[in-house]
Amino acid sequence: MNINVPNSYLKVFCLSLITLIVSCKKDMKTTHENPLLQEWKGPYGGVPAFDTMDVNDIQEAVEVGMKLNLAEIDAIANSTEAPTFENTIAAMERSGAELDRVFSYYGIMSSNMSSPEFREIQAKLAPKLSEFSSKINQNKALFDRIKSVYEASLVTPLDADQQRVVELTYNGFAMRGAELSADKKARYAAIDKELSTLYNTFSDNVLHDEENYVTYLNADQLDGLSEGFIKSAAAIATEKGKDGSYAITNTRSSMDPFLTYSTNRDLRKQVWTNYYARGDNGDAYDNNSIIAEILKLRRERVELLGHKNYAEWRLQDRMAKTPENALALMEAVWPASIARVHEEVADMQAVANTNGDNITIEPWDYRYYAEKVRVAKYDLNSDEVKQYLQLDKLRDAMFYVAGRLFNYDFTAVPEGSVPVFHQDVKVWEVTDKDTGDHIGLWYLDPYARQGKRSGAWATTYRSHTTFDGKKTVLASNNSNFVKPAEGEALLVSWDDATTFFHEFGHALHFFSSNVKYPTLNGGVRDYTEFQSQLLERWLSTDEVINQFLVHYKTGAVIPQELVAKIKKAATFNQGFGTTEYLASALMDMKLHLADPENIDIDAFERQTLADLKMPSELPMRHRTPHFGHVFSGEGYATAYYGYMWADVLTADAAEAFQEAPGGFYDKEVAKRLVKYLFEPRNSIDPAEAYRLFRGRDAEKEALMRDRGFPVN
């Protein structure tokens, strides 16, 4: 039976329903006492209450946050008003504030302060979060409104930033199955749910192996190691209940210096094996079968959308556009890269032979003998360089660069005035040097600890927008430096210093954002690494070297002859660095192009490396069983190539500074850098943004020159 209801009555009914939903939301907000849902209070526009964060609150907070957000989405989707940018797209931009706040706490518990209790909750929440996303992405009424706004904008274009938001929103929904039939939508959602659990298990397995494979040394096994490293290893062993021993943890920050300096080859092999076997030990925490299932489900999901493989689907909204374009870049660099490895190995083998070591170079020898070659070829000792690389001074150097390029001041916030989640975290206020205007807060969490994921990363707790009032930025940098013993300076390698600058580049990208709508703070994966990679270049500028690279004991500036050696050796070991990275990037792409049916991950990895003629003397940077970039989620899946894609932009942009009268601090080039490459975030197509900065597209040859490879 059909019942015709006058439009006026229907509109009144729907408006009443929306009012009821909003009223319920207000009641939930005011009566619910979960602290993770509450609005942030205090100075600087409000800050997360990290000091009251409790793992016991997280599940309830996430579940309530999802309900609140879904109520907002339903109100938008079921509105009887004709779809417009304001009542559909802008309304979506406003939604989810409570859940966004909860995810700031969730991210800290996941990445910085994980615990067995949290991991249990995370496992329970993973499928629920997947279902939540599916309810939004597959909401037909919502997508119909989005599509209507999108199609209208093709006829009558909106303002540039509004047009960009509409296009990104529409394409994002379309890519995630919004136009599928009901049965395909159901299968798509089921796959997402299953994948969410697999990603969580993958991460937990890697973390298990990082925490449980620790190498303990005695006093007779420390030969070659620096005094500072030994003191740190002793302190970590004591924390782990092994007083009198020295702990080499299963993280890169501990493994790398040990492999570089330890004279004990058997121990080098043990530490190397522990690290590169994470997730691949044939036990309950082995990730090979999980990866196979992830690949199978990813392929099935994109086939629902009509794509041949996951890579084709994923790269359609990236700068590379197709897997063929990404592979073409990697395969153009690969031959020169492995050729350089063979040269490096020959140099190392010659040193070993001269020393009468009676060995053939193996992967656990590469760093050790590379260091000896560095000393012999360039008279450059990495341990000598480290004496001038104090973490605190490097932090001050980054502040200096930010002041010169972005006009920022960093001022330490008095301890206790801003809540932090661990006593090691320090906070700085960022302001404009000329006006004093508050821009945001920078949180630094530098040290490794139990429950903290490995590596280095940047994140935001609040992003800048001018939508519904200006919001200032809360950004953080997170590292895994081995904490020094009390009263000792933290000395780092040149590579670690470079990474420190890299991650700070991400933070500057957050702080410099000048966009109106939250969606525009996102990024294109093979572009967002560019800004951070570019900032690495300022570490080796004379202004930084002469002011901040001072001896940790004497305070003397690093000698110019040592600086000359560093610059002369700038392309040293590029074979190792480029090949270990490219092997992982190629593996990522080839895994997602391969037929996943009955795939044997271990056999595929070995065969692919053999086909690539991978030198046996070094491994991939991330072996497949612990390749978290790709298998703990989807952020870098078929996108690990993006670092090299971004490196083409980086090398080309660096040449723009080199060609300028003022070099890396040239005011005009710096102005274009901030205006076109940092401030817009994703409000401009990345390729167009780069052309506005450079006047042309980036050239691949700049990358080859930068790495000291032959240019054809």
For 520-548, write each residue's pLDDT tens digit: 998 888 898 999 999 999 999 999 999 99
Q: How confident is the model at residue 469, as a pLDDT?
A: 87
Q: Is 438 helix (H, G, I), strand (E, B) or coil?
A: strand
Mean pLDDT taken over the chain: 93
Q: How confident is the model at residue 2, as a pLDDT?
A: 37
Question: Mean pLDDT over residues 225-251, rounded?
Answer: 95
For 216-228, write each residue's pLDDT tens digit: 999 999 999 999 8
Question: Helices 494-511 & 525-535, crossing angle to 10 degrees?
Answer: 120
Q: How confident is the model at residue 525, as a pLDDT?
A: 83
Question: How many Å apart are CA 263 and CA 253, to the nearest integer?
Answer: 18
pLDDT band at 25 (very low <50, low <70, confident <90, very high): very low
For 272-300, write each residue's pLDDT tens digit: 999 999 999 999 999 999 999 999 999 99
Where do the H-state alpha helices sit in 570-617? 574-593, 601-611
Phi, psi torsion values for 474, nearest 5 degrees: -120, 110
Q: How many residues does the chain have?
A: 712
* Residue 249, C-beta contacts closer than 8 angstroms, at least 6 positions apart: 210, 214, 236, 255, 448, 482
pLDDT band at 490 (very low <50, low <70, confident <90, very high): very high
Closest CA to 201 of 285, 82, 258: 285
Question: How many Å apart are CA 623 and CA 614, to the nearest integer?
Answer: 13
Phi, psi torsion values for 511, nearest 5 degrees: -65, -35
* Residue 403, C-beta contacts closer than 8 angstroms, at least 6 positions apart: 409, 433
Closest CA to 106 of 127, 79, 132, 125: 125
For 41-86, write each residue's pLDDT tens digit: 999 999 999 999 999 999 999 999 999 999 999 999 999 999 999 9
What are the extents of the domains in the chain?
Answer: 7-137+139-179, 213-276
DSSP-assigned letter for residue 624 = G
Element (H, E) at 70: helix 55-77
Question: Mean pLDDT over residues 185-191, rounded?
Answer: 96
Question: How many Å apart are CA 129 and CA 196, to the nearest integer?
Answer: 8
| Residues 321/526, Cβ–Cβ less than 8 Å | no
CA dihedral 66, 71, 76, 77 (to 10 degrees): 90
For 153-170, write each residue's pLDDT tens digit: 999 999 999 999 999 999
Q: How far is CA 385 from the centre of its chain?
A: 27
Question: Mean pLDDT over residues 124-135, rounded?
Answer: 96
Question: How many Å apart are CA 116 and CA 122, to the nearest integer?
Answer: 10
For 494-523, write each residue's pLDDT tens digit: 999 999 999 999 999 999 999 999 999 988
Question: Mean pLDDT over residues 565-582, rounded?
Answer: 94
- Which amino acid belongs to residue 80? T
| Angle made by CA atoms 258, 264, 268, in degrees to the nearest 5 | 50
For the four alpha carbons of 334, 335, 340 and 342, in that order, the dihedral sign comes to: positive
Q: What is the pTM of this model?
A: 0.86
| Residues 536/398, Cβ–Cβ less than 8 Å | no
Architecture of domain 7-137+139-179: Orthogonal Bundle (1.10)
* pLDDT of 16 over the 80 cut: no
Q: How confident is the model at residue 32, as a pLDDT?
A: 58
Question: Mean pLDDT over residues 1-6, rounded?
Answer: 36
